[in-house]
Structure 1
């Protein structure tokens, strides 16, 4: 993974390790050492230790003395909380967007551009990139609502969403075309101006992807 030369060694270790966790390359429950990350970056273990502490504070790692760190699994209860929050925020964003019909066409175009990128990732079988684009698609829906408070709140869910998507879709790659089709349907519903139908379709989409 490319890293900026302007970043400190600790920042580089933090960025790399976090990406490995969010992408699923380091899955929940996996034990790995400071030395593994230090070797990949060509740095000492001290900045890696600092990075691990930051990631433990973010509840992504659990430190194991003299052994390294274990990737924290996504707690089942937390996943359900995230899904409930997403339903509420995204549905509210669409209701708010539809109060300004003149903006709908531009938002639909933006969503379709993200969807096309997601389709390309699916064709390549690049699940981490697909999951990242999935998060961007839904974040774009929220941004369209124009509520600064909910946009910031939703941004705080981004890391959890990526991990949940990788976890949910990794074992069932045949689900990727289903996600793409449902995303396309969500865009069409937004264009139709039916906020209630969007909320129903969003719930079905999240249920099918994460609550199977």
Structure 2
């Protein structure tokens, strides 16, 4: 693995885990020292992260880590409700598919309950897997692929919410239990309503908001 690739992966993971927070201004020199590399691979990594929308570069000033804007959260939530709701509707008339999904989700929930709440990275990873199981159950590879592309934003949103609000971890576990029961009962509309409440409560943003982050001062 090249130095640029290593820096890219490690800085990105730190952003996803909220170890580097939105609004933080990073310098090439600071990151080069942190990872014991020259500035060239750091610059390459920053350019790649900028192209993916994780940061914005300001010449001679540094790289601003893009905060999670309220409208981005609302858009991700809307997409997730549409995709997961579609998947549950698609299997509502298939008892075998429902049984298989419910078994997988209950196994995931057991794993989730076994994670130390202070392990935010592990908690967010299993949370993402829970929702990916639901999306994949719809057996539409195109939609599943699109849902998977939301995974990194999903992880970042979850780690941010768990860090920000006391009780979020337990809320997620309780809500996941309700979602499983709605699927087991083959009630997609109940599932969609519960998912909507779950995502809005966990991430604390009402759909339709449009706040955008500013530039560094």
Where structure 1 has 5 or more consecutive residues not aligned to the other structure, the ranges are 1-6
59-68 or 35-44, which moves further after superposition?
35-44
The match for 2:110 among 103, 110, 116 is: 116
Q: Is the 8 A contact 2:93 2:186 kept in 1?
A: no
Equivalent residue for 1:131?
Answer: 124
Distance 1:13 1:208 in 2: 34
Q: For residue 170 of structure 1, give the secondary structure of its aligned residue in structure 2.
A: helix
| Structure with the larger RCO, 1 or 2 (CA within 8 Å, 6+ apart) | 2
80-89 or 97-106, which moves further after superposition?
97-106
Equivalent residue for 2:78?
Answer: 84
Q: Normalising by the residue count of structure 1, what TM-score does the alignment of the two structures yield? A: 0.90
Equivalent residue for 2:196?
Answer: 203
Q: After TM superposition, give the deviation of residue 14 of structure 1 in Å.
A: 0.9
Equivalent residue for 1:175?
Answer: 168
87-96 or 37-46, which moves further after superposition?
37-46
Q: Normalising by the residue count of structure 2, what TM-score does the alignment of the two structures yield? A: 0.88
Q: Is the 8 A contact 1:34 1:45 kept in 2?
A: yes
Q: For residue 84 of structure 2, give the secondary structure of its aligned residue in structure 1.
A: helix
Equivalent residue for 1:52?
Answer: 46
Distance 1:136 1:36 in 2: 34
Q: For residue 63 of structure 1, give the secondary structure of its aligned residue in structure 2.
A: strand
Q: Are 1:141 and 2:134 an aligned pair?
A: yes
Q: Is the 8 A contact 2:117 2:169 kept in 1?
A: no
Q: Say how many residue pairs are matched.
A: 205
Q: After TM superposition, give the deviation of residue 82 of structure 1 in Å.
A: 1.0
Q: Is the 8 A contact 2:54 2:66 kept in 1?
A: yes
Q: After TM superposition, give the deviation of residue 200 of structure 1 in Å.
A: 1.2
Equivalent residue for 2:98?
Answer: 104
Q: For residue 70 of structure 1, give the secondary structure of its aligned residue in structure 2.
A: strand
Q: After TM superposition, give the deviation of residue 42 of structure 1 in Å.
A: 2.7
The match for 1:67 among 55, 61, 68 is: 61
Equivalent residue for 1:15?
Answer: 9
Q: After TM superposition, give the deviation of residue 156 of structure 1 in Å.
A: 1.6
Where structure 2 has 5 or more consecutive residues not aligned to the other structure, the ranges are 206-217
